[in-house]
Structure formats: C-alpha cells, structure tokens
Structure 1
Amino acid sequence: MQGSAQVTAPRAEEQRITISHAGYNRAWAVWIADRLEGYGWQVSFQRWDPPIETPLAEALSDLLLVEGRILVVLSDWYFKLGPRTDQEWNEALRTVVAPHSRRFAAVSVSTSPMPTASAAFGGTTELWGLGAREAERRLVRLVGAFDAHDPSLDTLAGVRGARFPMELPRVWGGVPRRNARFTGRERLLQEIHDQLQGAEPGAGVVTLLGLSGVGKTQAAAEYTHRFASSYDVVWWVAADQRGTLRQGLAELAPALGLSTGHEYGERLRAVGDALRRGDPHVRWLVVLDGADRPETIDDLVPSGPGHVLITSQNRDWDAYNTHLLSVPVYQREESVAFVRRRAPRIGRSDADLLAETLGDLPLALDQTAGWLNDSTMTVQEYVAMLRDDQDIEVGLRVAADFDTSYPTAFSILLNRLRETVPEAVELLRLCAFFAPGAIPVQLLREIPAERLPEQLVGLMSDPLRWNAATNRLVQYSVIQWDPPNAEDEPHAAGTIHLHRMVHQTVRSGMSETDREIFSRAVRHGLSAADPGTPTDTRNWPAYARIVPHLDSSGALHSRHTRVHRLIYHCLHYLYVAGEYTAGIHLVERAERAWRELFGEEHPLMSDLASYHASMLRAVGEYARTERINRGLLARMAAEGRAESLGALRVLEGLAADLRGLGRYQEALDASERVLAGNLDLIGEEDFRTLNARSNLAVTLRLLGEYRTALAEDRRTLQARRELMRARNSATLSSETAYALDLRLLGRYSEAQSLQEQSVEVHRAVLGVDHPQTLSAELNLALCLLRAGERPLAHDRLADLLERVERVLGERSPLTQQIATCYSFVLRAHGRLDLARTLGERTVRQYRQALGPDHPYTIGTLANHALVLRAAGEREEALDLNEQCLTRMTEAVGPNHPWRLGIALNLSADRNIAGDVESAAELSRDTARRAANNRGLGREHPLTLSCKVALATDLRNLRQRAEADKAEEDALSGLISTLGSQHVHTVSARARVRPFWDFEPLIT
C-alpha cells in the first residue's frame, strides 16, 4: 500500500456485503466489488429485478435475508424497473429500509432525481461524474473501511482490477448509443456473458438469432455497453453485406494503432492478425450486426482470444462454429414495462392491450408507443383502427388474435410523421430504394440535385432541415443513425440503418409513379458514386458500398447507359476482388432483367455473358463457359464482328476455357490469335495486349514449355511495372507467374526470393484471403518445399487449405490445387492416412468436374499411387502407375514433363517388383526425353533425377560403368544448379531413389 492514509479491514462481524443493483448498472457493481475486496470485504451480488406482481415492500424485505450489510446501487433503472411509481417507492423505503438503516448504504450512479425517501438509506454518496480515485475514496468512506485522517492519497486499493465504469474501453467504434429505454432481456444478457466468458480462446462466438424487429441489435448493443468494462477494444460493424463488413473491419486498423498504409487489403490483413494474436489488446469484442448470409462472410469472422457477437435472422450460423442464442419476442411483463417506459402516459392495462395487439414485438412496440405518447389518440382507439382496417397489406402478422399486420400498424406512424415533419417521410421513401440495412449517407449526397424529387432538394442542401428530419426518424425508431468517425472517415457523412420491415412497408405503400421517381433518383446517385476504375484496390470500398443497392434501386431494370456501365464496373470489381459467388448472383439477376428488357440478341447481353463466363470459370465451370463463349463468337461472326476487340476478348475467354478443360494445343492456337490480334489493333503497350501475353504464357506453361513461358512472363512483368504501378494487381499477378516459371525450371532460390517479397505486397494490397494472394502463397510454400524446408512448407499449406476452403469452398479450382499439394507433403511427412483421404478426395472431385481423361485427374491418380507404394500396397501402385503413364501420354504426349514424371515413378515401381530390365529401359527412355525436352534441358532437376534413377537401374543390371557415369553426371549437375547441400543433392549422393509429385497449375 502506498500513501499516507490508513486503510483498515472491516470488523469480523461485518466482513460480508451484498451489492444490490439493476442489470443495467452491472459495470458499477463489478467495479465496486473489485474495490471493496481490496479492503478485505467478502462481496456477493444481488441483481434487482423483482417480478411485477411482487409488492415492492416484500421484494425489499427479501434483501434483509442476506448476511452482513447491503449496498444499493441507485439509479433510474433501479427505481423504474417494472416500472414502479415514486409513491410506491417512498412507502416501501419508509416501511422496510428506515427501520434497518444501519444495514443499508447506497451509492448513486445517475443524474436522475431519486425518490424523496431515499434518505432512509443509512448513508448515500454520489459517484456519477467523478474520477476513479475520488469515487473510490467516497466509496470506502461510505462503507466504513477507511480510517482517513489525511484526505489526500495517491493510491487506495493498489493495483487496478475492473475498469472504472466512467471509462470507455481504449478502442471504441461504431457502437450504437445506449438505449435508455432498454427493458428486460436479463436472462439473455447473462447467457451471452456466460457463453463468451466461458469459451476457450478462439471459440468465443455467439450468434443472436431471431426474426425481424425482435430486438437482436438492441440486445447486442446493451450487452456491449453493460459489459464494456470487460474489454479493451469494442468494435461494431454492419455485416449485412460482405463489402461493408470488410470495410468496417479494415477501419479498425488505425484505431488499434497498427502500422499500415492506406491500402484496403493491408488494413484488413493487419486487423485480422492483430486480433488473432491479441496484440496490442487481448480483451476485444467485435459485433457483427445483421449478418444474415453466413456463407458469404464466415471467413471474415475474427478469431483469437477475444469475443465475437453476431446478430442474424439466419439459423445456418449453427454450422459455422458459433453458439446460437434465440431472441424471442418480449414476455408480456417485459412488453408492459417497455411500453410504460416508452410512453409514461399509458397505464398498465392499456400497455397490456397494446402488447397483445402487436404480439410483443419490440420494434412494433417501440415505434407505436413512441408516437402514442405524443398523440391524443388512446390505445383503445388505435387498436380499433387496426381491427377495422379492411385493406390489410401482406406482411408480418404481429398477433394471432387480431387481423393486423406490421405494415398496417406502421402506416399510422407514417401518417403521424407526415403531419409533423413531412420531409422525414420523403427522406424515408428515398432510403427505401436503397437496400435495407446500412445506407451510407454519402450515397444520398451523391444524388444530383436536379435528379432529386422536388420535396427533397431543400432538405439535402440545408443541414438544419436534414437534422430535423433524421432526428425525428431516429426518435420514433424508424431508422438508426451512426455518425461518421472523424478520424478514419474525414469525408464520410455517417450511416443510416433501415430495418428490413420498415424498408418493405414503406415501398409497398408507394404508388408506381412515386416508386419510379425515387428509384430513378437513387440510380443517378449510385452512378455518380461510381469511381470508374474497379481494378484499383483503393476504389474497392466505394464499390462495396454501391453493390448492395443495385437491386433495390432498380438499377438492373434501367435502360440508362450510365447505369449499365455502373453494373459492368461492379461486376468487374467483384471479379478482381475475388468475390466470385456474389458476382455470379449479380450477373444472373442482371441477365434475367436485361433479357426481359432488351431481348436475347441485344449487344448488352453479349458483354454480360462475358462477365458471366469469367465468374463461372473462376469457380471451375469450364464446360459451361466454353458453350457461352462459342455462342458469343458465333453471334459476333454473324454480325461481322469476328475480328473486333470484343471478339478477341471472347476468344481469350475461350482459350482459358480450353486450358481448364485440358485441351492445351487448342488453347495455344487461340492464345496466339488473341495476342496477334491485339498487337495489330491496339499495339504492344495496351493493358489488353499485356493480358493476352500473360495468358499465352499460362498456356505455354501447361504445355511444359517452361523456358518460353518464362520469356513471355518476364516481358509482361517488365511492361506492367513500367506502365502500371508496382502494387497493381496485374503487376503482382505477373510476379507470381514469373516466380512460378523460375521454380518450374529449378531455379528455386530466385523464385523464393521474388515470391517472398511479392506475397507481402499481395497481403497488404489485396488482403490475406484474396484468391490471388492465396495463389501467391501457394507458390511460396512450394518454393520452400523445393528448397528443403518441408516443415515450414507443411504448415503453410495446412493454413492455406483451411483459408481457401473458407473463402472459396471445397470444390473451387484453387482449393483443389492447394489440397493436391498438401496431400503429397503429408505423404512426405509420413501422415499416410490423411494424405490418402485428401488425395482420394481431389481425385474424385477432379474426375467429377473434368472427367477421367483430364491431365489433372490422371496426375492426382499418379500421386495416389505414391501413397499406395508408401503404404506397402506395391502391386496396386504399379498397376495404377502403368495406367497413368498410358493415359497421360495420350493426354499430353510422350515428352511432356508430367508424363516424364510419371515415368520416373513407374520405373521405381517396376524395380521394386523385380522387373529390373523393364525399369532400366523405361529410365533410359525417360532420361533421354527429359534431356532433349526444350522446356527442361539437361540441367533441370527433373532431368537429373531421371539420371539418378537410371544409375540405380543400371547398377541393378550390373552395368556399373554406365551407372557410375550417369550418377556422376547427375551429381555434378545437381551441385552446379542447386548446390552440394541441397536436399536433392544430398539424397542423390546417398543413392535415395527420387520420385516426382504432380502439381496442378493455374489455368
């Protein structure tokens, strides 16, 4: 203990103290308990929430049953739960507390006036508005644990424990204001707390599940405020759309003080890493509000030592490693208490009638009671209006006993608003043509004044009128309002949150003419907000804000050219951002709308089909995309556009389809035609020509022409670095392609050096889970593997497989590629069971997606043969490899590196089976073909491995001189190219027979 004052423990007979508090004031109770325990008190808690039917005097008398003293935390919440009147309280305090004043003490943590009989408590002190030290000084004096002759102290109870309730967590962002009318839910809030606090690190995820308007968001907000003292970081993010969730998480980076640039992906990656490590803060809470599509955002849910709270209507979260807690409608006593807090003029019986009519639905109660409190209409009159309405709109039935719907009840509120602040209703009608959920006000501000409905022009340009309208909508709980974060969003204008029920109800109540006026205005605003360059990652947050609103605005049914361009840009953004599933959904909806508007033969449909093909190709639908692209080429030829740039773009897509289908020679012909056409029409330095050259290199690589592919990729990389910024996604893609060529040529150290640096930039610019980043990290993992760092490669591949399955699913091409590589690394580590399971899965999925004769199906079968051999199933391995050699020869020819690799493995199987002459014959032929292969050459690791295998087979035939010569040549080549200590060199020197793993390549 420090300081000059003397602190004494309480007397033995008074060592126990019970803190009685309303749930709303839990943070105060925890802090008080923490302070008192520092002075030797034994503290227990009693949450004050007596049933409404229990007389107040009886409930207070029950407090006297505890041992020791009773400390009451006084606030408006303590007195008004129920709620109870001041008269009831004064009578109960005089009856129960006054005769036992020595056992009672009280602290006030509210600025609200207390009942006059509060003086009955033996001692009362005010803690609200004080600093932590002064509050503690008053507290210990109150309970008599402080023997102070010197009022000045520097330290009281020593090391701090619980956070002082007047202090916010160190990082606090996006959290809605605390609802001063929040009622009930005590059991739910305790369940949330118990589940999160009792979870193992990394498993603290709770999802609040319930229907629209049931109060999930309000419960999450109350938990956040009530338990804020448990956290150092509290961050609230709208999660109704993947783009807005990514943006909200990225904005946490500067709040955490993370050293990042302004790149979107870099911030997102840094936040994920910081939360996962618990650095700089272990105690964090992230709230994902309105997360109704778990399949699109599950990979973005933070993991680590902190907690995640999700609100959703979607029960599918049950499959995503989260604990579900259902949020029901209010219990009747909660409804009555809430209505009476919301509308003090409404009596208990009327509150019960209103709750029954509205089915105890919190949102409906909140909105209805709010304006009834200001209205002269009685509850009975209001209920009669609902009963007598013969034109009930289809909507949520809010009570089984009454023929009412939420839209009908809400229309009365709208009429009330229209009488008082008509501009608020017009603003609400405008918002109804954005998507429900988060609406960035900046998008509203982007609407040109000349395109706004006349009644809104003045509102948008007058801050006072704007504030009056939005404040009234907030007052009646029609919208929620989040102000902008001045530090992170200097140009932002805040966010309006519109509940789905409100959104649907407002739209359904509008005439067709008004719908067109308002939707046209929103479409103009979205078009004006289009940054215009979807390939620039700095523009991705803007597109993430726009995409959710295309449907609701009617943009997909617009005939305006500018809106069509916006849709193309959004599709391009979704493609380059790796959001393929969202892109497919958008393009399919656009196709349906445009087919109805313009017909199947309209030129717009051709462009849309190209985007559709790109999205489908990214998820491996090659046969389908080939049909699309061949149909487009036929149409263009019939229209005389066979040599146009548009036709070249479609032909480039067809080449990619053919690569995916394993028809590499056809793909090469198409790729060469595309490059030649682009050179002729637009020249060497256009980005489309560079794309064509890059795609040609991909085709050459699949054909085993590694040296030629390297030359094309080097040329493309140099041009992209000069013409585009170094951090451009296309430039980064070229870096990975060039590093891949280097690795396939055996230049492992060069490849690793380039790829390591490129991966860091990928993660910073595109984000840690972007498909292009995952591809770059895969190449780096394989560089590490070839360099002999097997444990590190194993760990990286394991992490990559988990991430890619979360982001793209189990069947995506990239997932299959990573799974194949991980399976052969598992085999090398001796984990044969897992290697076999994973390998068989990739074989099965390649066979289903691409057919039995695709090179990838055959190659993964060859890998499976290696697992069989390692497991001692040698005859099965031999038979399978014999089949694979024949089929791969038919698929890609006798000299392709893939065929040579299988031959290398098969020669070992034949040797093991005792067929040494056949093994030597195959080894000799394989070594000769590899040495003469222009894509490999005599110094390539595969060629040298074939020589090592040949030396083994010759030695078994007792042809020692030739064997020694082959071995000497192989060792000399390995030392020259890889070094004397490289794992391949060491293995060859130890006469360990080499093997080859098939690796699917990016198509």
Structure 2
Amino acid sequence: MTDPPGSPGSADHARLISLLRTVSPASLAAAAVDLSFGSPSEDPDWADVEGIVRWIDGLPVTVDAPAPLACFAERLAHDPTVPNGTELHAWFDSASGLDPSSRLEIHSATLRNLVRLRTLSNQIYTDGDAGPIGRPSARHEGEAEPLSSPALAHSLLPATETELGGAREPVRIWGGVPLRNPDFTGRETLLSDLRKALETRSAASVLPQTLHGMGGVGKTQLAVEFVYRYQEQYDLVWWIAAEQQSLVLQSLHELARRLGLPQTEDMRQSAIMVMDALATTSLRWLIVYDNALNPDDITGLVPSAGGHVLLTSRNQTWASVWDAIEVDVFDRPESVELIRKRGDVITREDAERLAEKLGDLPLALDQAASWQRATRMPVSEYLELFDHHVRELLDEGRPANYPTTVAAFVNIAFERLRTEAPAVAQLLELFAYLGAEPLSVSLLRAAKNSAVSQPLGSVLRDSIKLNRTIRALRQYGLAKVGGDQAIQVHRLVQLVIREGLSEDLAEQSRRNAHAILAAANPEAPGNRENWSTYALIEPHLQPAGLVHSDEREAHQAVIDQIRYLYVIGDAEGSRRLGELAVSVWQKNRTAPNLGPDGEHTLIATRHLANALRQLGMTERAKTLDIETLDRFEQNPDFGRLHEHTLFTLAGIGVDLRIAGDLQGALASEDDTVERHRAAYGDDDYETIRVLGNRAVSLRMLSRFSEAYEVDLEVLSALQETVGENHWLTLLMQSNLARDLYGLGRYSEALELQRNFLPLHAAVIGERHPHVLLAHRMLAIALRKTGAFGEALTYARNNYRDVSARYGPDHEYALSAAMTLANTLRTLGQPGEARNLATGALNRYRRLYGDEHPLTLAAATNMSIILRALGEHRDALDLDQRTLGALTGSLGDEHSYTLCVAANHANNLVQAHELAAARDLSEKTLALSRSARGPQHPYTLACAANTALDRIATGNDAGGRSLLDETVLALSEALGPDHPETVDIGRGKRAECDIEPPPT
C-alpha cells in the first residue's frame, strides 16, 4: 500500500523536497514567518530543505494553517522570486485536499484563499523582491493621468491571478523594507507630522523629508513604522541602506529591474533611469534612504516629481538641505510602555526607575528590557550593576557625548557572556570592526574554514551552534536579526565594544573580521553572479581596516572590491577605495606583495587609473599607468611579458588616444601586440583582443584600409576561437562597419550593421555600450546612403539612450550629439542642429581642450551649421583656426584636415576670394585622391567643389568637364537619386562633415 499524498516518505513528499531545493533559504524563512509558523526548539537551518519540510509537516493544525505543508508550498508559489511557482501550484492542488495532517476535508481553492488572506494581512516579503499584493488604488478625482513609459506600463500588468472573488490583482513593488517591530511604541505625533509634511511639501515637486537625531533615538524604527502604517497609500515602496553609495546604486539597479527598465551594467546610469521613470510614472511611490551620511551622495538621486522621499540621518547638515523633523528620546510614558512590552513582568514602578536611569533613550530601553526577559534578572539587581558600570565609565573621564547608558549595558552583557557564552561574546566583539550595515550570515558561513580564533571558529563550522549563537545575540538585546538572515548591531553598541576592548582582544577581533571578509571574497568581480556577494562585503571592508592587513587574501579582497565598484558604475567609490589602498600599501614595507613595487600595490594602482579615466581625470590616469608599467617592467618578478605588465600596457594606448596623441597611441598598440604575440602566441584570445585595439588607433589616424585588414584578420580569428555569437566577434562586425564608412563604402557599412545589430543586442543587451555605438553607426550609415528620415529616428533615439546611460559629458554622448546635429542639418533644420552642436563643442573644449582631434572634429561640423544659418564670418574664422590646428597635429592628409580644408574653400567663396578658394580646392582634391582614393565620396565632393571653383574663375570648359565626371562617379558610388548626387548635379557646393569615432 502506498503512502497517501503529503505524508512523510511519500512520492508526493519527495517531489516537494525536490521542488524546494531550487528556492533560496531566505525565501523559505520568509514564507514561514509570513504564515506565523512557530519556531522549532532550535532555529532551523534554512538551507536544509528536508529538515524544513519535516518540521513543517509536524506542526499542529490551526485555523490559519489547516494543512501546514500545503500552505507553505502555496505561499512560496505566490513568491515571484521562486523559479518554479507553477510546479508548486500543481503540487498544492494534488496534495492539499488529501493532506492527512490536516484531518479536514478542505477544497484546494478554499485553502489557497486562506493562504492569500494570511499573506495580505502580514505583508511580509522575501529578499525585498516579492512585493505586497493589493488592488490598484483609485486616482484622486480630477487628477490627470501622468505619462508612463511602456516599460513601466508593462511592469504594472497583473502578475498573478487570485481566486478571491475572481479579482485580478497586480503585485505591488516592495523592496528592502526591514521587518516591522511588533513592539513599536508611541511616536504618534511624529508619525502624523511626517505624513502631513510629505503630503503638503511634495505637492508640486519632490521635497525629501529628513528624520535626524542622535544615535539610538529610533530614527530607522520610526521610518519602518511609517512605511507599514501607510503602505496602502503607495504602489511602490523601496527601502535603501544609504550609508555607502555603492549600496544605493545596487538597490536602485534592482529597482530598475523590477520596473522593467532597460538593463545596463552601469549602476549609476541605471539609477538615473529610475529617477526619470519615477518622475513620469502613474505609480504612487515612496523611497526611503536610511542612514544617509553625505548630502552629495543623495541630492542627485531624487526624482523631480511624482512621489515621496524619506531620509534618516545622524548628520545635522541635512536640516539645512531639506525639511527636517528632529527625533529625540522618548517621553516618559512611551518609555514605560516599551519596557513593559519587552520585559518579563516588569512593574510600572520598576519601568519608571529604568526609564529614569536610561535617560529615555529608546535603544537603551530596548536592550535593558530584552536582557531582563532573557536572564530574568530582577530590575533592582540590574540597576545596581548599571550604577556600578556608570561610575566606572565616569571615573575613566568619558566625554560628555559618550553613550553612557549603552556602554553600561554592554559592559553588563560582556561581564556575563564572557563567562557563560564566550562564543557569543566573541561574535559580538567581531562587530567592533565591521560596518553598521547588517552582516549576512552567508558571509559567516563562507568563513567556516578560515583562521578565526576559538571558540568562534568552531561555531562557524557548525550550523546548529551558529544558529544558537546568533539567537543568543538577539535574545539578549545585543543585535537585530532580520528575516533575510542578516545580523545588525547598532552603531552605538559597536562604538562601545571597540573602545572597551583590550589591545589583545582588539587585535583578535580585527583579525577575525579580516579572515571572514577575505574568505567570503568570490575572486571574480567581473562576473555578475558575484555582485550580490560583493555588495554584502562592501559596507564592512573599510570599517574592518582590510587595507591594513598583512594577509595576501585580504589584499585580494580589497583589489576585487575596487574592480567590482568600477564595473557596476561606481567609479567614484572605486577611486576612493583605490586611493586608500594605494596610499596605505605603498608605505607597507613588511608584506611581500606590498610596498611601492609590490604586486598588489601595482594592481590596485592600475585599477585606480581605470577609475580616474572613467571620471575624466585622464592625465593622472595616464601618469599612473605609465609609472605602473615601468615598475612592472623593472621588477624581476614580472618583467616585460608578465600578464600584469601586459594588462597595464593595454590601457596606455587608450590613455594616449584620449589625450589626442594618436601616433603615440598607435606606437603603444604596436608594442602591445608584439609583446602579446611573444607571451601568448598569435592565436591566443588576448593577442587577438589587443590586435583589435590597434585597429582603433589606425581608424583614428584615418588609415582605414589598414584598419579594415586588421579587423578582418581579428574577425576571422575570433570566429574560429570563440565563435560567431561571442560579444567580441559581434563588436568586430561593428568595427568593420566603421572601417567601411571611413572608406566611403556606405552601403556595405549599412548592410553589415543591419545584419548583425539584432544579434548583437540579443547577446549583450540593448543598453550595452557596444550596442549603443552600433546604433549610432547605423544612423550614420543611413544618412550617408540617403535615408535621411530613418537616420533621424535612429540618431534621436541613440542620443537619448546614450545620454541617459552615460550623462551628457561622456565621450559617447558627445559623439551621439554630433551625429544628431549632422543629421538635423542635412534635413534642413540648422537651428536645432546648432543648439546640439554648440553644447557638444563646449563640452569637448572643457573636457579635452581646444586642440584635441575630437574637439576640432566637432568644430568642423559647427562651421558647416554656421554656414547653413548664413553666419559666414563666424564659420570662416572657426574653420581657419581649425585647419591650422589640424594641419599642425595630424598633417594635411588626415581625413579631418581634408574635410575642414574642403569646407574652408566654401568660406572663401562666400567671402568672394574666388582664386584663393580655387587654389585651396585644387590642393585638397590632389591630397584627397592620394589619401582616400579617387572614388571616395569625399574625394568626389572635393572634385565637385573644385569644378565649381574653376568655372567661377574663368575655366568654364575644365570645370564643366570635371563636374560631369564627378556626377557620373557619384551616381555609381551613391546612386543617381541620392540627394548629394542630385545637389551636386544642380551646382550646389558640397560639405564634408565628420563623425567622431569612439576612442
């Protein structure tokens, strides 16, 4: 006879275990909390699926959970973070009505409704990802429907269908909010004032409201209570731990995903997209920045309209930035109420005495009450101990602002714990050298084999002992433990612990913190799957002083964190950590991999240079790269062909291109290629990659034929080594299109880009920088083949997307602006083109200098627009300066020089200097034929202008003959109906614009 479905040992039981193995421990824990399942005698190991199922299967039947295991499965099935919700629904339907543990005949639909109602009433969600579920709220009468993006509209489509009256309800967006404090007390006036302030002061535009006050007064708890109390008035609530900017960016990046916005690896640009989306969506939203320290980190991350922003901070500066509400200690009745809620049968009289002693500080009150409940210590005995420790603190001459009440409590706790529970005391001491953000238990588990002192080391290797130790911290009021298995010790408690440790214990705790963080390091910051772990490590890395460790593993963790911050788009965070590491490590003469020439010092310097380059500090980045390269080359442990040396060398070509030293960049690329061939061989991926970089330098020098041959070689090698769909193979297709454009083979460039762009976007994403550059190339090719209208659409979209992704000052945004300006001017819209080109040219000048090739290319396009507007004098002056600068820096045969020379002849015609115009046109035509070839469209443009100049200066026969030849050649190159062919056939002078290439 087979076991009935749902019973232990049955096939149905085994199938559920199999399904739950794909669910995260945090989701399992949150589901149990959501359904109010009581804890077993020991806290469960949420990674032990079989143990969890056995525990829940043995729970008693209740009204809320008439079939506990079925309810648990159905609750998880409604969690959008769970990958196999459909299968769990199916298991529920097959097992729920027959679950023998329920002893009830319950239809699956009825049971599902009970689960649903229970979920709605508790409003508890897992991992900040599964939002509260509720009906969409009605819009205020007469309120206009705000515009919303298609992505946002899509994200609001119903994600689940309930059986509650057949209604279909959208999943609301809810993330990061801490669990509600069931013992929250008082603060009614503050909550009311906060609500009124947000409603009245954010009516027209978003004016953030700040909760500020000293540590321990409960600012965060007040914000949490506000969120839960008023959650029904919002469609989106997003809580952000704001002490570290990288955490802010990580959280907003996740919100972008939840909103259905285009995904990008650059988290800063993702945050900007979120701000823009929230300003236009019809969602009613609340963003909470908890413990924001620096106003500069947040002021750019506030949407302009549409919702509410709440901020908590100890920094009094916020009161002068935005409206602020001060949070102070409790009133006495609030103190008494909290103590009697939290303590174990404490009389009102004793509660009054405790409140008086503890100064009504909420943190101290909560700790004292938790301690009394855990230890059953009489209040009178606690107060005697408290007075004793306060006298000790005062005798030590502590400053007036020292948290005496908290310090006294911590001393009482340590005195007992070091005797009765040394592992608990040692775990708490660890937090003296960690950040104030929660510490994920997963980081502790990852360190189970690390060199952590005893007895804590043994605890980390035993999940049951670790759970007990964490539970003891929580029970004694020493820490908070969230549903996501994260431990948080209040910053005041951390301060007291740190100042109270002896020198030996301080060193032990510091070493333990270093060992745990180093052991948790995934050692692959470029892998997106590791980013969540790096985000957990980041808040603790600097407080732990990991840069001061002498251990190699700790240094690697710091280096990987510098790189992680860079790849997620937090270049400023990467720079700050890089500066700190390099500064400390250069002075360290004891660790073998540190010091001025140490391996880790030099690697950190290379990463620092990357961050500086991204932030526009290009000259210093170049200097660091050159110095680092020299140190690697001179060090006998590395030398000219070591991997570290070659990685550094590859960045110098980029530095030189950005600096405008194009010949120097090519020389560096040649050296890089030769060294890679010597180190790896011709067919190695790294050699192929740097060979492609060499083609970039060739393109910037207008050596398009050579670049095309190199790119063909690289493409062929990549197709053999990494395949057709590899991101670098697809990038090479776009590079070939750029080569073809430079060669004047516009139709081929268009066909190539059209063919590969969809695959390129599918493989690496629409917002990847390579795809954005490919879209710009498509817009350029469309314009050059005469498809002006389609080109304008692509150019506008590309400028919008690139500016949103990088900001207006980035090189890619400036080049996208020039492409759009060129397209608008071609379509007869020089006014709008001028606005774009002026802004871009000014930024080029500010960022790169007046003499940089990219600045001069933008100036060339600007002068064409000025001529179209009839501002001939300004165009002549601008071209004259540009031509002199380009001839001096790039030579008279460079494509940029030839373009501005051909255009300057147009200025001379407008100035009635016809002979000078003819002489310049004749010279430019000869140079273009030599450099570009006689059939290049720009050579033919030079020929057309030369023909018109000959006719204007009396050589009618020679001019008309050349013009006829040119029109015929243009018909063959561009087509007889191409607008440029038609215009030149009608005697219109040609203009040669420039599309600045990516460096």
Other-structure match for 2:28: none
Other-structure match for 1:792: 793
1:328 aligns with 2:327: yes
2: CA distance, partners of 1:844 / 1:997: 18
User: Which amino acid in structure 2 is aligned with residue 894 of structure 1?
Assistant: D
Other-structure match for 2:926: 928
1:606 aligns with 2:602: yes
| Change beyond 3 A, Cα 1:447–1:925 | same
| Change beyond 3 A, Cα 1:396–1:338 | farther
| Change beyond 3 A, Cα 1:475–1:695 | same
2: CA distance, partners of 1:512 / 1:188: 43
Cα deviation code 1:853-904 (max 9, x no counterpart): 3323433444444455455542232122111101110010001111112123
| Change beyond 3 A, Cα 1:232–1:444 | same
Cα deviation code 1:703-757 (max 9, x no counterpart): 1112322332343345445544777665565455444434444555665676679
| Change beyond 3 A, Cα 1:992–1:248 | same
Matches within 5 A, 1:185-334: 185-186=187-188, 188-190=190-192, 193=195, 206=208, 208-211=210-213, 212-245=215-248, 247-248=250-251, 276=277, 282-292=283-293, 309-312=310-313, 324-330=323-329, 332=331
Other-structure match for 1:945: 941
User: Which amino acid in structure 1 is aligned with residue 331 of structure 2?
Assistant: R
CA deviation after TM superposition for structure 1 residue 701, in Å: 1.4
Contact 1:169 1:234 in 2 (8 A): no
SS state at 1:887 partner = helix
SS state at 1:496 partner = strand
Contact 1:183 1:334 in 2 (8 A): no
SS state at 1:614 partner = helix
Matches within 5 A, 1:745-764: 745-746=743-744
Cα deviation code 1:236-287 (max 9, x no counterpart): 444444554555556568877x6999x9789997996899389999455554
Other-structure match for 1:529: 520
SS state at 1:208 partner = strand
1:176 aligns with 2:173: no
SS state at 1:454 partner = coil
| Change beyond 3 A, Cα 1:177–1:837 | same
Other-structure match for 1:585: 576
SS state at 1:449 partner = coil
2: CA distance, partners of 1:410 / 1:232: 41
1: CA distance, partners of 2:948 / 2:187: 76
| Change beyond 3 A, Cα 1:168–1:469 | farther
1:624 aligns with 2:620: yes
2: CA distance, partners of 1:323 / 1:721: 56
Other-structure match for 2:536: 545
Other-structure match for 1:390: 394
2: CA distance, partners of 1:384 / 1:561: 44
SS state at 2:991 partner = coil
User: Which amino acid in structure 2 is aligned with residue 227 of structure 1?
Assistant: Y
CA deviation after TM superposition for structure 1 residue 447, in Å: 0.4
CA deviation after TM superposition for structure 1 residue 526, in Å: 3.6
Matches within 5 A, 1:628-639: 628-635=624-631, 638-639=634-635
| Change beyond 3 A, Cα 1:371–1:529 | closer
| Change beyond 3 A, Cα 1:959–1:481 | farther
CA deviation after TM superposition for structure 1 residue 685, in Å: 3.1
Matches within 5 A, 1:394-793: 397=401, 404=404, 407=407, 410-415=410-415, 422-449=422-449, 451-475=451-475, 478-484=478-484, 494-598=485-589, 599-635=595-631, 638-639=634-635, 643-645=640-642, 646-720=644-718, 722-724=720-722, 730=728, 734=732, 736-746=734-744, 775=773, 779=777, 782=780, 787-788=787-788, 789=790, 791-793=792-794
SS state at 1:389 partner = helix
Contact 1:483 1:495 in 2 (8 A): yes
User: Which amino acid in structure 1 is aligned with residue 577 of structure 2?
Assistant: L
CA deviation after TM superposition for structure 1 residue 328, in Å: 2.7
Of 954-963 and 343-352, more deviation after overlay is shown by 343-352
Contact 1:535 1:729 in 2 (8 A): no
Cα deviation code 1:168-202 (max 9, x no counterpart): 96454443221223234445544654566679899
CA deviation after TM superposition for structure 1 residue 586, in Å: 1.9
Contact 1:192 1:206 in 2 (8 A): no
Other-structure match for 1:4: none
1: CA distance, partners of 2:348 / 2:760: 62
Other-structure match for 2:45: none
SS state at 1:585 partner = helix
Cα deviation code 1:648-692 (max 9, x no counterpart): 444433333222222221221221121112112211233331232
1: CA distance, partners of 2:281 / 2:486: 28
Other-structure match for 1:48: none
| Change beyond 3 A, Cα 1:777–1:259 | closer
| Change beyond 3 A, Cα 1:899–1:532 | same
Contact 1:239 1:245 in 2 (8 A): yes
Contact 1:264 1:541 in 2 (8 A): no
Other-structure match for 2:900: 902
Of 444-453 and 351-360, more deviation after overlay is shown by 351-360
Contact 1:368 1:413 in 2 (8 A): no
Matches within 5 A, 1:980-991: 984-985=980-981, 988=984
Contact 2:330 2:361 in 1 (8 A): no
Cα deviation code 1:530-574 (max 9, x no counterpart): 434333333333334334433234432233333333434333444
TM-score (norm 2): 0.70
Contact 1:168 1:229 in 2 (8 A): no
CA deviation after TM superposition for structure 1 residue 466, in Å: 3.3
Contact 2:265 2:567 in 1 (8 A): no
- Aligned-residue Cα RMSD (Å) equals 5.0
2: CA distance, partners of 1:567 / 1:159: 46
SS state at 2:670 partner = helix
- Where structure 2 has 5 or more consecutive residues not aligned to the other structure, the ranges are 1-113, 121-134, 140-161, 590-594
1: CA distance, partners of 2:982 / 2:359: 77
SS state at 2:543 partner = helix
2: CA distance, partners of 1:704 / 1:297: 44
Equivalent in 901, 914, 917 of residue 915 of structure 2? 917
| Change beyond 3 A, Cα 1:503–1:604 | same
Cα deviation code 1:417-453 (max 9, x no counterpart): 6577554333233344443314232211110335232
2: CA distance, partners of 1:198 / 1:720: 60
User: Which amino acid in structure 1 is aligned with residue 852 of structure 2?
Assistant: H
- Where structure 1 has 5 or more consecutive residues not aligned to the other structure, the ranges are 1-128, 136-157, 485-493
Cα deviation code 1:813-857 (max 9, x no counterpart): 455555655666677788888876775665555555544433234
1: CA distance, partners of 2:962 / 2:333: 87
| Change beyond 3 A, Cα 1:667–1:223 | same
Contact 2:578 2:608 in 1 (8 A): yes
Contact 1:725 1:731 in 2 (8 A): yes
Of 306-315 and 523-532, more deviation after overlay is shown by 306-315
